[in-house]
Amino acid sequence: MKIPEILLVETFQKPGALASVLEVIAEAQLVIEHLQSLRREQGRTLWEITVEIDEQAHPEFYGKINALPHARFVGKSDRVFNRHKGGKIHMEPSLQITTQQILRDIYTPGVARVCIAIRDDAAKAALYTNRQNTVAVVTNGTAILGLGDIGPVAGLPVMEGKAALFAALVGLTAYPILIDSKDTARIVETIVSIAPSFGAIQLEDIAAPECFAIEAELVERLRIPVLHDDQHGTAVVALAGLINAVKRVGRSLSSSVVGQVGLGAAGLGIARVLRAQGVQRLLGSDLRADALERLRGLGGEVATVPELMARSDSVGATTGGRGLIKPEWVRPGQIIFALSNPDAEIEPMAALERGAVFAADGKGINNVAAFPGLFKGALEAGVPRFTDGMLIAAAHALARRAGPEELLPDALNLDTHRAVTAAVRAAGVEPVFSAL
């Protein structure tokens, strides 16, 4: 499995010293994600080099660096771990508690007046509490990134990351909620029990097929927006990227044959939003009979992976299977989105070399561009649930924001999230989507 590693490499102040290190990296067919000089002293420079590397596939990599005459491998940086120390989120009050009068107003005895007002009119909670600006980010840890079932506590850094993005990008307060259970009914009852604390629920990294039943039950029982980000957030960004890709090659999305390899949470989420967008021919492949039945329920056609590659104009892949799509299966002119993280089904460069007109992976087509605005828009609209119209509106808003050489806009640009928020809020009156 490829994992981002931050290498510390020291080079001597000699011509070509750094170039020789970069040559070793290139020979290993690794891509440099980041390069930074940390310090220079006594004729030596310490470099921080970020690469995605499968160490089992490159057992001699570090030795080759050490064999260079003017460089040595020092170790690995703790930068990522340092940025996680103490967690990535914290809560602070929205006003300064600096006097006894403020204390008495916001707590006892003054708070009793607000409690009574909400008791008499529950709608006032939206005005006098932060509930309408809060999201519960809920996982049971059964499908964390591409790591699989690693448990809820090991998945907490991901949930904290989601919460940090909510705060930074759209100003929502999000709380990681870990549920130590794989029992669907227990998970549902737990979320229903805590739902009064929140304005919306984001389900995250819950394995298929349980995630479908959990989401469907919660949508039915709760009167606040519930969205499984692995399904619908991924679907929104995939649709946005595909809208731009087909437009730039002069095709019609509705008349294109679209293939989806892998029909788990993300794959079926993509399939259903493509059908809602108007895609007529949808091929799908999966090893699980229940997943194929869900595909048929959406009006899709079952195919093997080679068949799907041979017949599809555009292909999405969300299997977690590194190298599943063989380069020789790629046809000239195809659009390939291999979205599994951290290892794609086919590397974008390999697909492009075989003639794909567009190719992207999960780093380029990432749901961080969608989920903050989806929730912000739904909460501002005051709707009880997400709809197909809201998801499709978000995708089109993202597609419009992308630059001429981009499939998706910059996810760190706050205008991106404002555009998604506005589109979702405006679309909040569309009919409710049916659960998978």
Specify the pLDDT at position 428.
87
76 and 110 belong to one structural domain: no
54 and 159 belong to one structural domain: no
Residues 188, 211: Cα–Cα separation, whole Å: 10
* Residue 1: pLDDT band with limits 50, 70, 90: low
77 and 143 belong to one structural domain: no
169 and 213 belong to one structural domain: yes
The parent domain of residue 10 ranges over: 3-84
Contact 239, 392 (CB under 8 A): yes
pLDDT at 432 over 50: no
Report, as an integer, the average pLDDT of 166-177: 97
pLDDT in tens, 359-413: 999 988 999 999 999 999 999 999 999 999 999 999 999 999 999 889 999 999 9
| DSSP code, position 431 | P
136 and 39 belong to one structural domain: no
Asked whether residue 368 is assigned to any structural domain, the reply reads: no
Specify the pLDDT at position 405.
87
Residues 145, 50: Cα–Cα separation, whole Å: 20
Nearest Cα neighbor of 371 from 154, 167, 213 is 167
Asked whether residue 177 is assigned to any structural domain, the reply reads: yes
Q: 369: exposed, middle or buried (C-beta count within 10 Å: 0-12, 13-18, 19+)?
A: buried
Q: 26: exposed, middle or buried (C-beta count within 10 Å: 0-12, 13-18, 19+)?
A: exposed
108 and 207 belong to one structural domain: yes
Catalytic positions, written as ranges: 107, 162
pLDDT at 434 over 80: no
Asked whether residue 317 is assigned to any structural domain, the reply reads: no
pLDDT at 107 over 70: yes
* Residue 19: pLDDT band with limits 50, 70, 90: very high
**Residue 53 CB contacts under 8 Å (≥ 6 apart), including other chains:** 2, 3, 5, 28, 30, 61
Asked whether residue 7 is assigned to any structural domain, the reply reads: yes
Tokens linked to 228: 């499984």
pLDDT in tens, 298-343: 999 999 999 999 999 999 999 988 889 999 999 999 999 999 887 8
pLDDT at 221 over 90: yes
Between 428 and 73, where is the model more confident?
73
Asked whether residue 260 is assigned to any structural domain, the reply reads: no
What is the Cα gyration radius of the chain?
A: 24
Q: What is the mean pLDDT of the chain?
A: 93
How many CB atoms lie under 10 A from the CB of residue 228?
A: 29
79 and 189 belong to one structural domain: no
Last residue of a domain, one of 204, 230, 256: 230
104 and 225 belong to one structural domain: yes
The total number of structural domains in the chain stands at 2
How many CB atoms lie under 10 A from the CB of residue 324?
A: 19
Asked whether residue 297 is assigned to any structural domain, the reply reads: no
* Residue 436: pLDDT band with limits 50, 70, 90: very low
The enclosing domain of 139 has a CATH number of: 3.40.50.10380
Model-level pTM?
A: 0.89
Mark residue 308 as left, alpha or beta (left: phi above 0; alpha: psi -120 to 50; beta: remaining): alpha
Last residue of a domain, one of 186, 208, 230: 230
The enclosing domain of 52 has a CATH number of: 3.30.70.260
150 and 208 belong to one structural domain: yes
* Residue 435: pLDDT band with limits 50, 70, 90: very low
pLDDT in tens, 30-61: 889 899 999 998 899 999 999 988 877 788 99
Asked whether residue 175 is assigned to any structural domain, the reply reads: yes
75 and 118 belong to one structural domain: no
Specify the pLDDT at position 409.
96
pLDDT at 209 over 80: yes
Last residue of a domain, one of 203, 230, 257: 230
24 and 106 belong to one structural domain: no
pLDDT in tens, 92-103: 899 999 999 999
35 and 124 belong to one structural domain: no
Asked whether residue 80 is assigned to any structural domain, the reply reads: yes
Report the interhelical angle of 265-277 vs 229-248 (nearest 10°).
Answer: 50
Specify the pLDDT at position 433.
40
